[in-house]
């Protein structure tokens, strides 16, 4: 699970890929050559290095959080559920609420937590599995975002008790796309999860930053059988793939059509592809 700037390519398992900044690897030989020649002061050389290092304060917090998450499996299920996982959640949210953390690369934590960021760098998503036990994985997902005034906020995305989000939002956000709807920036997210019983699911949601709130759009998908509380939800047997994709060039959203439950209570693809086009603020079937 690696930090990315925009898109993580993902099928049905939450594996991540890190994007490499163009030219980052080519800088070091050039810098070494200049250093040997004595043509550049050390301070300028340090400034020329990729800005991915953490300062000591955030390096310490990063190490603490990574160690806490890594130790989850050392505890029995009940202790992990009652105290260890909630303590990690509280520690992470406390760190994310500090505006200074907004550009922190989380060098260690990104091996324990899925972290994806929008192309405009205004929002970043943190998702992880608290390992609460069983085949139903009740994943956590939080958004850290910055409004137009430069203020930084943190908001829970997965369904909390009494929350309004759909029951399928306890999923790992693995991809985000910046899209414009009615002249306003929105964020299309793809997430992966499972509620057991031989099925898993992918969820597409659309959000926007409204003042200090991160607001889910409940009407951005036209009404269909694939909607759950306004979110696009694709639930299917684990041996199949949803093929959920967004093409930024065409603005088309597509996925494999999922059929009804068969005689063994499994959902499988019909072999057809569903294509949605953004028309007048809604994704509608072509």
Is the per-residue pLDDT at 59 higher than 90? yes
Contact 202, 11 (CB under 8 A): no
The pLDDT value recorded for residue 5 is 40
The pLDDT value recorded for residue 264 is 58
% of the chain residues with pLDDT over 70: 76
Contact 142, 126 (CB under 8 A): yes
Contact 96, 117 (CB under 8 A): no
Is the per-residue pLDDT at 49 higher than 60? no
Average pLDDT over residues 151-179: 83
Is the per-residue pLDDT at 33 higher than 90? no
Q: Please spell the DSSP secondary structure of 187-201, one letter per residue.
A: EEEEEEEEEETTEEE
The pLDDT value recorded for residue 249 is 94
The pLDDT value recorded for residue 9 is 31
Average pLDDT over residues 264-269: 73
Pairing of the two strands 252-258 and 282-285 = unpaired
Q: Which residue has the higher pLDDT, 78 or 283?
A: 283
Backbone angles phi, psi at 271, to 5 degrees: 95, -5
Backbone angles phi, psi at 253, to 5 degrees: -110, 130
Is the per-residue pLDDT at 250 higher than 90? yes
Average pLDDT over residues 48-58: 65
Task: Tell me the C-alpha to C-alpha distance, in Å, between residue 136 and each of 45, 214, 276.
Answer: 51, 27, 29
Nearest to 237 by CA among 256, 218, 224, 220: 256
User: On the CB side of 137, how many CA atoms lie within 13 Å of its CA?
Assistant: 19
What does pLDDT average to over the chain?
81
Please tell me the distance from the alpha carbon of residue 233 to that of residue 191, in angstroms, as a whole number. Answer: 10
Is the per-residue pLDDT at 35 higher than 50? no
User: Which two structure tokens, joined as six digits, stand for 90?
Assistant: 């509280």
Please tell me the distance from the alpha carbon of residue 145 to that of residue 122, in angstroms, as a whole number. Answer: 6
Q: Which residue has the higher pLDDT, 9 or 138?
A: 138
> Which residues in 136-162 are b (16+ Cβ under 10 Å) and which e?
ebbbbbbbbbbeeeeebbbbbbbbeee
Task: Tell me the C-alpha to C-alpha distance, in Å, between residue 70 and each of 67, 108, 185, 253, 286.
Answer: 5, 10, 36, 36, 45
Range name among 20-29, 108-117, 128-137, 225-234 with the lowest pLDDT average: 20-29
């Amino acid at each position: 699970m690696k930090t990315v700037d925009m898109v993580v390519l993902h099928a049905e398992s939450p594996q991540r890929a890190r994007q490499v900044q163009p030219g980052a690897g080519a800088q070091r030989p050039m810098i070494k050559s200049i250093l040997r020649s004595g043509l550049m002061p050390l301070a300028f050389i340090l400034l020329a290095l990729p800005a991915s290092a953490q300062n000591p304060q955030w390096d310490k917090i990063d190490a603490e959080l990574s160690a806490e998450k890594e130790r989850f499996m050392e505890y029995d299920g009940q202790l992990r559920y009652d105290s260890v996982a909630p303590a990690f959640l509280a520690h992470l949210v406390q760190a994310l609420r500090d505006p200074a953390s907004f550009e922190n690369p989380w060098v260690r934590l990104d091996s324990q937590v899925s972290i994806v960021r929008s192309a405009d760098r205004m929002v970043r998503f943190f998702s992880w599995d608290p390992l609460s036990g069983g085949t139903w994985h009740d994943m956590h997902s939080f958004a850290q975002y910055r409004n137009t005034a430069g203020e930084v906020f943190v908001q829970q995305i997965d369904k909390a008790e009494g929350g309004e989000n759909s029951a399928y939002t306890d999923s790992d956000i693995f991809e985000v796309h910046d899209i414009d709807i009615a002249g306003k920036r929105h964020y299309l997210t793809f997430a992966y999860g499972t509620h057991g019983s031989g099925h898993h699911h992918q969820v597409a949601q659309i959000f926007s930053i409204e003042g200090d709130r991160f607001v889910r759009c409940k009407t951005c998908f036209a009404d269909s059988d694939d909607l759950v509380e306004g979110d696009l939800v694709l639930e299917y047997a684990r041996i199949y793939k949803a093929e959920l994709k967004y093409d930024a060039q065409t603005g088309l959203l597509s996925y494999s059509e999922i059929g009804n439950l068969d005689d063994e209570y499994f959902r499988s693809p019909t072999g057809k592809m569903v294509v949605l086009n953004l028309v007048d603020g809604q994704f509608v079937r072509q």
